[in-house]
Amino acid sequence: MPRIAGIDVPDKKKIYFALQYIHGIGAKFAGEILAEAKVNPDLRANEVDEQQLARINAIIDGGYLVEGALRRQVSQNVQRLKDIRSYRGERHRRGLPVRGQRTRSNSRTRKGRRKTVAGKKGVKG
């Protein structure tokens, strides 16, 4: 398995898709990196020679935030929102959707499994 930016990428896949296994590199950045390194995106990852691999690694190290550094930056951004007690920070703290989605129905991914509240239905006043 070739190591790119300290990550083992699958060697049977095309290098264009193998690069996308690195956290922080999607389709757009994978295409840009391969174009800048002058590597054919249709090559399999195990067919890429050492010189091309070194160029890809140099480009990623030089201009892209990936893996641990990216995860750290994202968590610091969320922590900053929590610290300044912004609306978005409060939503993060409570585990609710942050980007304006409705919560009356849906949003089960953020809220977790349903918690049944006893005596809610059939209350006669």
Statement to judge: residues 56 and 76 lie in one domain = no
Write out pLDDT tens, residues 44-87: 988 888 999 999 999 999 989 998 999 999 999 999 999 999 99
| 17 and 40 housed in the same domain | yes
- Judgement on whether residues 20 and 41 belong to the same structural domain of the protein: yes
- The two tokens of residue 2 are 């070739």
Looking at the fold, whether 74 and 56 belong to one and the same domain comes out as: no
Q: Is the pLDDT of residue 116 over 90?
A: no
72 assigned to some structural domain? yes
Within-domain flag for 81: yes
What pLDDT score does 84 carry? Answer: 97
The whole-number pLDDT of residue 115 equals 87
**Burial class (CB within 10 angstroms; exposed 0-12, middle 13-18, buried 19+) of 97:** middle
Q: What integer is the mean pLDDT of 87-91? A: 96
Same domain (yes/no): 73, 54: no
Q: Which helix (H) or strand (E) holds 52?
A: helix 50-63
Q: The domain containing residue 96 runs over which residues?
A: 68-111
